[in-house]
């Protein structure tokens, strides 16, 4: 005997990835609403640092290296974002900086109006660069989260005498 109260199988855009991106979107939004964007960014920064440490360890182990060169750091940053469905690419790089662009956020539309979520990128990039090269200052120049059609992220690799007045967040190798 069939139960007519059962719902039919629906074609919903719901699967684990969509669910988890939605969860992070709402978590970031709730934090931004309750404690403000700056404090929400701080909480997400802590998570981003831990994720950055984990990813750095995975790449070092996978490559059987003790540390990455600047070129390898650049490759790792692009590779890790590609693996999570971002579209990051190198715009320019030299011994003082790596400038990356991005046409597609891994969080897709869930990042819109959630600038605190960009701290994940800042901290992952900063942690990996600093752990391997000693120092990084990550500047989020443009972000999809704030309405730009793409992201532009500069990872500065050398401190300057006026670093304190420069935009971005500094990262140092853990001792």
- Model confidence at 89: pLDDT above 80: yes
Tally of domains in the chain? 1
Average pLDDT rounded to a whole number, residues 143-162: 93
- Model confidence at 1: pLDDT above 60: no
Instruction: Kindly state whether residue 7 falls inside one of the protein's structural domains.
Output: no
**If pLDDT is split at 50, 70 and 90, which confidence band does 171 have?**
very high
Instruction: Kindly state whether residue 11 falls inside one of the protein's structural domains.
Output: no
Q: What is the DSSP letter of 6?
A: S
Instruction: Kindly state whether residue 36 falls inside one of the protein's structural domains.
Output: yes
Instruction: Kindly state whether residue 4 falls inside one of the protein's structural domains.
Output: no
Instruction: Kindly state whether residue 72 falls inside one of the protein's structural domains.
Output: yes
Instruction: Kindly state whether residue 6 falls inside one of the protein's structural domains.
Output: no
Tokens, residue 131: 């752990």
**If pLDDT is split at 50, 70 and 90, which confidence band does 53 have?**
very high
Question: Which pLDDT score is estimated for 3?
Answer: 64
Nearest to 115 by CA among 151, 79, 86: 151
- Is residue 169 within 8 A of residue 126, CB to CB? The reply is yes
Question: Which pLDDT score is estimated for 128?
Answer: 98
Domain boundaries, position 137: 16-172
- Is residue 125 within 8 A of residue 86, CB to CB? The reply is no
Instruction: Kindly state whether residue 3 falls inside one of the protein's structural domains.
Output: no
Question: What percent of the chain stands above pLDDT 70?
Answer: 98
Instruction: Kindly state whether residue 53 falls inside one of the protein's structural domains.
Output: yes
Task: Tell me the average pLDDT of the chain.
Answer: 92
**pLDDT one-digit tens code per residue, 92-136:** 999 999 999 999 999 999 998 899 999 999 999 999 999 999 999
Sign of CA dihedral 169, 133, 69, 44: negative
CATH at 50: 3.30.1380.20
């Amino acid at each position: 005997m069939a139960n007519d109260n059962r719902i039919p199988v629906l074609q919903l855009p719901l699967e684990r990835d969509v669910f988890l991106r939605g969860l992070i979107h709402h978590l970031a939004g709730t934090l931004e609403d309750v404690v403000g964007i700056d404090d929400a960014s701080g909480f997400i920064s802590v998570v981003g640092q831990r994720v950055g440490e984990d990813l750095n360890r995975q790449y070092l182990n996978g490559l059987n290296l003790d540390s990455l060169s600047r070129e390898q750091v650049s490759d790792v940053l692009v590779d890790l974002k590609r693996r999570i469905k971002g579209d990051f690419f190198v715009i320019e790089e030299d011994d003082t900086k790596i400038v990356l662009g991005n046409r597609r956020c891994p969080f897709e539309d869930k990042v819109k109006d959630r600038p605190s979520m960009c701290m994940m990128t800042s901290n992952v990039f900063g942690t990996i660069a600093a752990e391997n090269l000693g120092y990084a200052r990550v500047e989020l120049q443009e972000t999809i989260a704030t309405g730009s059609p793409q992201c532009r992220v500069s990872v500065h690799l050398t401190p300057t005498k006026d670093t304190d007045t420069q935009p971005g967040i500094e990262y140092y190798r853990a001792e």
